[in-house]
Amino acid sequence: MEKLTGKQTRFLRGLGHHLDPVVRVGKEQLSERLLATTDEALTTHELIKVKLQEGCDLDRREVASQLATATGAAVVQILGKTFLLYRRSDQMKISLP
């Protein structure tokens, strides 16, 4: 994944503000099924919100980094137990500034 500029990051944060979490990390933590679900969601939406649930014992920054690395995405924002991931898809639904 290419590095996002500050302007692109701010733009994506604005878009992600109103999104509902489509991936939830629970007590299974970073399973193969979770990675597949995240990959599929990124392919479909490009920008997704991921939420860490109570059962997840991992650090939020670690989870965000590992999911981003495994799926080829960029971490746009980490806020509380929620973070945004972005990966450009072939359809390019989001036009970055």
Q: What CATH number has the domain bearing residue 31?
A: 3.30.110.60
pLDDT at 69 over 90: yes
Question: What 3 state SS string does 34-91 have?
Answer: HHHHHHHHHHHHCEEEEEECCCCCCCHHHHHHHHHHHHCCEEEEEECCEEEEECCCCC
Q: What is the pTM of this model?
A: 0.89
How sure is the predictor about 81, in pLDDT bands with cuts at 50, 70 and 90? very high
The whole domain housing 31 covers: 6-86
**Amino acid identity for residue 95 in this structure:** S
Position 94 in a domain: no
Please give the tally of structural domains in the chain: 1
Of the two residues 91 and 31, the one the predictor is more confident about is: 31
Convert the pLDDT of each residue in 12-53 to its tens digit: 999 999 999 999 888 777 888 989 999 999 999 999 999 998
pLDDT reported for residue 1: 59
pLDDT at 66 over 80: yes
The closest alpha carbon to 69, from 30, 19, 14, 24, belongs to: 30
Position 46 in a domain: yes
Position 12 in a domain: yes
Position 47 in a domain: yes
Neighbours of 51 (CB within 10 A): 17
